[in-house]
Structure 1
Amino acid sequence: MVEKNQKIRDQMSKLDLDGLLISDPYNIYYLSGFQGLAPEERESWILITKDENYFFTDGRYVNQVKSEKLKVKSLQTKLVTPEKTIQMHVQMIAKKEKLEKIGFESGNLTYSEYERFKELVNLVPTDRLIVNIRKYKNQDEIDKIKQACQIGDDVLKDAALIIKPGLTEKNIAQKIIQLIEFHNAEAAFYPIVTSDSGSASPHYNTKQSSRKIQKNSVVLIDFGVKYQNYCSDITRIFFIGKQKDEIITVYQQLLEIQKSTINRLIVLSEAKMIDKFCRESLEKNGLPNFPHSTGHGIGLQVHEYPKISSSSCDTLSKNQVFTIEPGIYFPEKYGLRIEDTILMKENQLQEVLTKFPKEIHLI
């Protein structure tokens, strides 16, 4: 925690800030280990100043916080009440420590919340200050993501045994959730299980589907595991029965492109160049472009930084974890996507953490 705090204070110094008010629940967990039950209710806040760390919560959690060992050993817990609001607490600390400029998370604090604060203290917007620090994982975070990936591999191995004609996509998704929970983990998001023309939609909503698997279906499964709050993400394709040669050929082309994109990480560190390489590889093979990023960071959230897209400013480096997931989509026909979770190591070397086989799966 000391290292994280120092990184934050270094950024505060660069931005000429006297304090940083943290409202994003993921960032609060990252810094304190605290999790409430309803983050949308603003159950907690953190204020970091040049010398102190303050944690704010209400009566529902104050005893819990005091009894638990949070990550911030020097955390000062403050009770938020109707008579002493978070705004009042921050105002009092600002006066005591002479905080002239307090940064806030512009991507999280609502406008109405900002309006209430600005009457009492001088708030300055910051953009992804902690999120950018979260791009770099420590060994504990990496170990948890690796375990999430291992569970995902085991779950997919078992789920593959039940895929058959007549089952609904939703049946398979629910089975995946059950298998994840059997491993004392939880689904990072509701699994995407889609087939045939539905697989041509990158973010298909399986919850609303009643579609059944057919004799010659193309089945796309995209899901993630959350283990001790850290996520994995994987996508694999399963072919039911005999497929047209065209589909098998396209899949083999996509697989080679996905593998070559991963291998390209050794020589390309700019995320946007990885994205460009992947898309140009599709074009060279006469295949259509895809309407999503080539990859995304993963950690406490399924989608975080770095972003691997044409507009990304991120550089890929050691201890970042992200996905590589090119897709090929033919509207009203079928779609294919292959996704792995990747760990960047020293000297631009990479480790594929999701190890479920990618060769053609015929059922």
Structure 2
Amino acid sequence: MGFDFKKRKNELLEKHEAVLICTFAQFEPNFHYLTGASVDGSYYLLTRDSETIITSRMAREYAEYQGFGAIVTPPPSSANKNKSRALAETVSKILKKKHISTLAVEVDKLGTRNRLALRRFGKLKLVNASETLLLQRMVKDNEEIRLIRKAVQLAKQALKELELGGKSERQAYFWLLEFFSRNHANIAFEPIVAFGIHTTFPHSVPTDTRKGRLPALIDLGARWRNYCSDLTECYIPGNCKPELAAYEEVKNIFYDIIDNSPDFRNTKDVNEFAKSCFRKRKLPELPHSLGHGVGLQVHEYPNFRRIKPMRLLPGMVLAIEPAAYGLDGGNGKFGVRYERTVLVGKKGFREL
């Protein structure tokens, strides 16, 4: 199995005749999505009949090693004098030969100086490709789903093997890092490990607080072959009755969402149903989104907080995370959250 990069590029080029992708970091989701490669500190220019890497002398050989034939390195003198102008002139020279005057760019990554240079020196009209790429990546193919499923399996295994007795938040955090390293995976994000009152803070940072008889909340995700998972689970001692009851409530909300998912057409439907579940159980309103898309990034489209609802389509992968915070328990304030990664199918959601 593998990815159909040609199909992905053609789909993008149906909307834009030329696209410039930034590859500043070692892993850039859009660049990886289109090519499967990684060349940092560079730019990727895609047109209907060519693809070019614009990079430094340092990264040129690595780009060649990954199979890119057309590689351009701006002259050192011009690059040092004004890197943005050198980029603009290089891109303009390529596009002028193809009679292309409009360039789609990642506005959120390209930076103001580069955008101004492309307009001024490159004489190019710029349009935003960021939204196009997020929408294109939203529906996963079978290979992407396979990799996400593996990432989910690893995260669930970590939650199963994690023993909190006697550990501090920080010790549990480092155990999780070691677990993923031992299993040849990366973390999708910094794990959240919270005990006691720290569970009431959605993004608590690990401290030296020890578990003891306190409730615990663990939010973690694995990254397997660049694809992510996102799960949250609570560990609650039997003597913590209010915490156990609240945790059962949010778990029930999650499974009510799954059971009713065949009726959902868009993100608004999911949100409205979840809100009714929270009101019915007299739980406080969520301070964060009920869910989000998962893929090459742990947070991607569909976005559940957009004013305009996003249509749910088969092949989307979501994290659904009902939660309640600031509740009163035997050990003071606490929070609970239950989160799983799910696949949208023709007949509703299915937990991965």
Aligned to 2:88: 87
Task: State the Cα deviation string for residues 234-269 of structure 1 (Å, max 9, x = none).
Answer: 00010135112x322222221111111122221102
Structure-2 separation of matches of 1:199 and 1:273 = 28
Structure-2 separation of matches of 1:238 and 1:292 = 21
Following superposition, the deviation at residue 81 of structure 1 comes to 4.4
Structure-2 separation of matches of 1:310 and 1:31 = 26
Query: 1:1-363 maps to which residues of 2 (within 5 A)?
Result: 1-12=5-16, 18-23=17-22, 25-36=28-39, 43-69=41-67, 76-82=70-76, 83=78, 85-121=86-122, 122-126=124-128, 127-159=130-162, 162-164=163-165, 166-206=166-206, 209-215=207-213, 217-244=214-241, 246-309=242-305, 311-330=307-326, 333-345=333-345, 347-353=346-352
Task: State the Cα deviation string for residues 162-206 of structure 1 (Å, max 9, x = none).
Answer: 211x42101001101101111100111111000121111111122
Work out the number of aligned pairs and report it. Answer: 331
Unmatched runs of 5 consecutive residues or more in structure 2 = 80-85
Three-state SS of the structure 1 residue aligned to 2:235 is strand
Contact 1:265 1:349 in 2 (8 A): yes
Task: State the Cα deviation string for residues 17-43 of structure 1 (Å, max 9, x = none).
Answer: x4221226221111122224xx5xxx1
% identical equivalent positions: 25
Structure-2 separation of matches of 1:180 and 1:273 = 36
Three-state SS of the structure 1 residue aligned to 2:297 is coil
Following superposition, the deviation at residue 78 of structure 1 comes to 2.2
Following superposition, the deviation at residue 136 of structure 1 comes to 1.3
Structure-1 separation of matches of 2:227 and 2:308 = 23
Unmatched runs of 5 consecutive residues or more in structure 1 = 13-17, 354-363
Cα distance change, pair 90–285 in 1 and its aligned pair in 2 (3 A): same
Three-state SS of the structure 2 residue aligned to 1:222 is strand
Structure-2 separation of matches of 1:198 and 1:306 = 29
Following superposition, the deviation at residue 348 of structure 1 comes to 3.4
Following superposition, the deviation at residue 302 of structure 1 comes to 0.7
Structure-1 separation of matches of 2:335 and 2:64 = 51
Structure-2 separation of matches of 1:196 and 1:287 = 19
Following superposition, the deviation at residue 104 of structure 1 comes to 1.4
| TM-score, normalising length: structure 1 | 0.86
Structure-2 separation of matches of 1:129 and 1:95 = 24
| TM-score, normalising length: structure 2 | 0.89
Higher mean displacement: 175-184 or 107-116: 107-116
After the TM superposition, list the runs of 4 or more consecutive aligned residues in structure 1 that deviate by more than 4 angstroms: none
Structure-2 separation of matches of 1:130 and 1:81 = 31
* Counterpart residue identity of residue 255, structure 2: K
Contact 2:315 2:344 in 1 (8 A): yes
Cα distance change, pair 195–312 in 1 and its aligned pair in 2 (3 A): farther
Three-state SS of the structure 2 residue aligned to 1:102 is strand
Q: CA RMSD in A?
A: 1.8
Structure-1 separation of matches of 2:60 and 2:142 = 30
Contact 2:53 2:63 in 1 (8 A): no
